[in-house]
Amino acid sequence: MRGGIASWSSFHGGNPSIGIFRELYNLPDYTASLPASPRACPAFPASGSAFMHDGIAYVCLEAFKPFAQDLKCASLSGTAGERFCLGPNIILHVGPTCLATDRGDPALLVAFRDDRQKSSFDWDFRIANFPVRLGSVCATLALAPDKLTFETLEATLRGPDGTPIWQQEIPATAFVTTRLP
């Protein structure tokens, strides 16, 4: 690495932005890291731990099952074919197209509400998101808390100016075991 402060290690748990490849190869963007894989893979350096999926290179630092096999999903009302899914350490927006997540796009915010908690954090899908094509659908993944407990998932789509476009509350009981394509 060049002088100055070091970036987080590529093995830092829960860090979605790996700086080591950016520094080593002078890349404009961070390498993304997520605790999920679109297909089963053994831990690196085993054969099959590095692979291409839809034009994106993946390297599994630990063994994974395909994330699409270990999900609980609930449909979004008023949005044909769209749903939210929860998996180990990830939350997904699944739809016919990938979720628009650039700065000028509407912001999809998700909050896990529980009457026992005084406050809850809003997860913004524009920050550290990972679009993954799975056949006819696109799953946009974001990191989720390790131990996810909630009574209601609150989803809000806000326009670029912050004005709510739509909002939906989904009870935890609406999430059912689902396999994506």
CA angle 41, 38, 56 (to 5 degrees): 100
**Which residues, at least 6 apart from 147, have a Cβ–Cβ distance to it below 8 Å?**
none
The pLDDT of residue 25 is 67
* Residue whose tokens read 């979720």: 99
pTM, entire model: 0.77
d(CA 128, CA 144): 11
Amino acid identity, residue 52? M
In terms of Cβ atoms closer than 10 Å to its own Cβ (0-12, 13-18, 19+), residue 39 is: middle
Looking at domain 68-178, its CATH architecture is: Sandwich (2.60)
Q: What pLDDT is stored for residue 24 in this prediction?
A: 65
User: At residue 10, what are phi and psi to the nearest 5 degrees?
Assistant: -70, -10
Mean pLDDT of successive 10-residue segments in the chain (181 residues)? 36 52 66 80 91 85 88 86 88 90 85 77 76 90 80 90 90 92 76
Q: 73 with 85: CB under 8 angstroms?
A: yes
Helix (H, G, I), strand (E, B) or coil at 58: strand
DSSP classification of residue 172: G
Q: What is the pLDDT of residue 21?
A: 60
Q: Return all residues near 13 (Cβ < 8 A) that are at least 6 apart.
A: none
What's the pLDDT at 39? Answer: 92
The tokens describing 95, both together, are 């739809």
Residues 6+ apart with CB under 8 A from 87: 36, 67, 70, 71, 72, 144
pLDDT of the residue at 20? 58
Residue 164's nearest CA partner among 100, 122, 106, 112 is 106
